[in-house]
Structure 1
Amino acid sequence: MGERKKIFLFGVLSISTSVLVWLFGHWGKPVMALPPPADIPEEILRTEIIIDARSPVDGKPLNAAEYAQLQEQLQVSPPPKLSAEVRQTIYLIRLRRALLQIFPFLDI
C-alpha cells in the first residue's frame, strides 16, 4: 500500500509542477499569433493602386505615366546590342573567372 501511495503522490507532484512551469513560463508574454497593429493587412495591400515605380533601366523613381511611357519605348525599340568586341571581352572575362575557380594557382 505504501508503494501505491508514493506513485500516486509522485504523479500528482509531476502534473502540478508541469502546469506551474507552463503557466509561469508564459507569464506576461504578449500573444505572438496576432500581427503587430502597425502591419497593413494583405487584403488592403492587394487592392492598393501603385502610383510609384522604378525604372528597369537605371532604377530611378518614376511616376505611373513615365513608367508606362518607358515600357512602350522598351517594347518598340529594344535596347542596343553590344558590339562583337565587347561581347568577346565579356566572354573572355567569364572564361577566366571559371578557370580561376578550377585552377586558383593560375592567377594571371
Structure 2
Amino acid sequence: MELNATDQLPEDDLPEEVLRTEIFTEARSPIDGKPMTAQEYAELLVEIDQANQVDPQVSPKVRQTVSLLKLRKFLKTVLPILPIK
C-alpha cells in the first residue's frame, strides 16, 4: 500500500504556501496590542516610519575624524608596509 503526503494531512491543516498568500484583514497594534483594521495598521506603520526619520547631526570635527580614519584604513590596506599606527 502506497501512502501519499497528502493522505497524511488533516483536512483542516492548510499548507504553508497557501497561508503565505492569505490576505490579512485584521492586525494588532505594535504599540499597545489592541486590535485594528489593516488600513489603520498601515497608517500607523507610516506614522512610525515618519517619526523615525531623523537627519543625523554630526559636528564637522567628528566628520573630519571619521574621514581620516577611513583614509588611514585604506592606506593600511593598500600599502601595508607603511608604519601607520
TM class by shorter-chain length?
0.3 to 0.5
More helix by share: 1
Bigger relative contact order, structure 1 or 2 (CA pairs below 8 A, ≥6 apart):
2
TM-score, normalization by structure 2: 0.46
